[in-house]
Amino acid sequence: MKKKVNRKATPWKTDDWFVSPWNYLEEVTQGFKPPKKVRIHDVTLRDGEQQAGIIYRKQDKVRIAEKLAEAGVHRIETGMPAVSPMDEAAIREIVKRNLGPEIFCFSRCIVDDVKRAADCGVSGVVIEIPVSAHMVKQAYKWPLEKAIELSIKATACAKKEGLYTVFFTIDGTRADMDFLLNLVDRVAKEGHMDAFTLVDTFGVLSPQAASYFTRKVKERVKKPIEVHFHSDFGLGVANTIMAVLSGAEVIHSTVGGIGERCGNAAMEETAMALLTMYGIDVGINFKKINELSKLVMKISGLEVPPQRPFVGDKAFTVESGIVTGWYRNAYKDNPTTVFPVRPEFVGHTLPEIIMGKKSGLDNIAVWAEKLRLKIDDDKKMEILKRIKRRSHDLRRVITEKEFKEIVKQVKTGK
């Protein structure tokens, strides 16, 4: 029986993953100040649906919420009641299901929005307000003072309604830092705030700035810090991780990284990176990741990019002859020598060896065994040459039927 690897002794190498030990060097980790517990606030049903072209019906939202609960997310942001009667009905139904996670709504800084959220029976509300001067003046056509007044009134109403109140500042990363922090101070004192969200609406933070932003806010704001980062420059996951390492307690993320424009931080990538590279377990059921992703993408009408980490159909697929050799020699007893994460750990299907232009003799050996074909050693190189030519000309990998045809032709000297 294979001896299990001790996670505590070697957090970079376990039975389920194998990442770089350098991640855990003191020279690397010094200065990290993550919270004792990190939670997932899923925004798939609200910000995820804001991706252009995605439309969720009531039954869609309920199905996704049920699957999110199975995966163990801590909070589900179900949408905005003010968007439509259908959205409000979906929120009410999800609340009624009592799925386990905390159920939140999203609202504008409008008292009536907050009251509608409370009427839906949710336990918390995320209240948004623009905070960058250019956004307030140019996009909303408001004086800055109006943003402050609305924030105070709406958050005070949320407190009166008994809602856990998360204050959410649109375009916070392009705002003047002093104005942002002064606004938060006023809302905390004159209105109400249980937690504050760092919001990178346009995905314009660098990872270093994400860390700085978090530390700067924590110096002034003595409330739990949440992070909501977009991925317009492909940095949503990295920025979220940097914020957590600087003390942020709650991650706003979506399944598959869907969301407005280029999307949000992807839940599965963020959670897996934190677990394997930083030793921070957010507590979700990682075996449900693929099941959840497939459901969300199907309902959303999207296709997961095949190379997407952990959930792409080809995340564990190999065509290369070199890597197939690794697979033949090591995978059975040491799967994480070949893949950094064991596919079963994230609920993925087992690795697949395919045949094409980049394949080698090891691919032929794997396919011959799978298809129960006996191939003499002196025939294998000719078979491989024909496979490479066929794949090149067709501009795709070859099928099992085509492989059998090539084997037969070589055997019969055709």
pLDDT in tens, the chain (414 residues): 455 666 778 999 999 999 999 999 999 999 999 999 999 999 999 999 999 999 999 999 999 999 999 999 999 999 999 999 999 999 999 999 999 999 999 999 999 999 999 999 999 999 999 998 898 899 889 888 898 899 999 999 999 999 999 999 999 999 999 999 999 999 999 999 999 999 999 999 999 999 999 999 999 999 999 999 999 999 999 999 999 999 999 999 999 999 999 999 999 999 999 999 999 999 999 999 999 999 999 999 999 899 999 999 999 999 999 999 999 999 999 999 999 999 999 999 999 999 999 999 999 999 999 999 999 999 999 999 999 999 999 999 999 999 999 999 999 887
Domain regions of the chain by residue span = 26-300, 317-411
**CATH no. for 26-300:** 3.20.20.70
Q: Which of 244, 262, 216 is nearest to 40 (CA)?
A: 244
Based on C-alpha coordinates, what's the Rg of the chain?
Answer: 25
Tokens 């564990």, residue? 316
Residue 147 pairs in a beta bridge with none
| Phi, psi torsion values for 197, nearest 5 degrees | -105, 130
Q: Quick one: DSSP state of residue 15?
A: S
Please give the Cα distance from 292 to 309 (Å, whole number). Answer: 14
**Token digits of residue 206:** 């660098």
pTM of the model: 0.94
Residue 251 pairs in a beta bridge with 40, 227
